[in-house]
Amino acid sequence: MIDLLVKILINAIGVYVAVLVVPQISFPAADNLLKLEGNWWQVIVVALILAVINTYVKPIVKALSFPISIMTLGLVAFVINAAMLLLVALASNTLKLGFKVGDFPPSITSDTIVGALVGALIISVVSTVASIALSPRKLL
């Protein structure tokens, strides 16, 4: 249970940084997140959606794309991460949370694809750094 809460917190940090850095990602709920005003809870819900998608959907997609991953030397992982971010945006639109990548949903443009790729890269880097910082130290 604690691991899930830590994963959601790390994803929330990653989503918040991606909203700040990537101009194609818009999320009005993240504007007043540090003040805990407005709809700050929507950031937590989007982070939960991201955690669920990365836990259940992403491994299936990675397993199915294994031959392509070998042919591209693993570069297809960037495309998979971007597709997972677009899936989060689609789920967010269904729940009326306001998380959008470019014009998606409803339309996919080149701006949307670039925003998803850069946003997924930033979320991955921030999540990796935050998980290293928040992981308990093991004594030798």
| pLDDT by 10s per residue, the chain, length 140 | 777 888 888 888 999 999 999 999 999 888 777 666 778 788 889 999 999 999 899 999 999 999 999 999 989 999 999 999 999 999 999 999 989 999 898 889 999 999 999 999 999 999 999 888 877 666 55
Residues contacting residue 116 through CB under 8 Å, at least 6 positions apart: 24, 82, 83, 85, 86, 101, 102, 104
pTM of the model: 0.88
Q: Are 29 and 39 in contact (CB under 8 A)?
A: yes
Residue 89: per-residue pLDDT: 95
Q: Are 22 and 122 in contact (CB under 8 A)?
A: yes
| Strands 100-101 and 25-26, bridge-based pairing | antiparallel
Q: Where are the domains of the chain?
A: 2-130
Residues contacting residue 126 through CB under 8 Å, at least 6 positions apart: 10, 13, 14, 17, 18
User: How far apart are the C-alpha atoms of 52 and 74, rounded to whole Å?
Assistant: 23
Residue 137: per-residue pLDDT: 66
- Amino acid occupying residue 40: W
The CA–CA distances, whole Å, from 51 to 10, 26, 55 equal 9, 19, 6
Residue 92: per-residue pLDDT: 94
Closest C-alpha among 95, 81, 107, 102 to residue 11: 81
User: How far apart are the C-alpha atoms of 81 and 67, rounded to whole Å?
Assistant: 17
Which runs of consecutive H residues, i.e. helices, occur in 53-75? Answer: 58-64, 66-71
Residue 62: per-residue pLDDT: 94
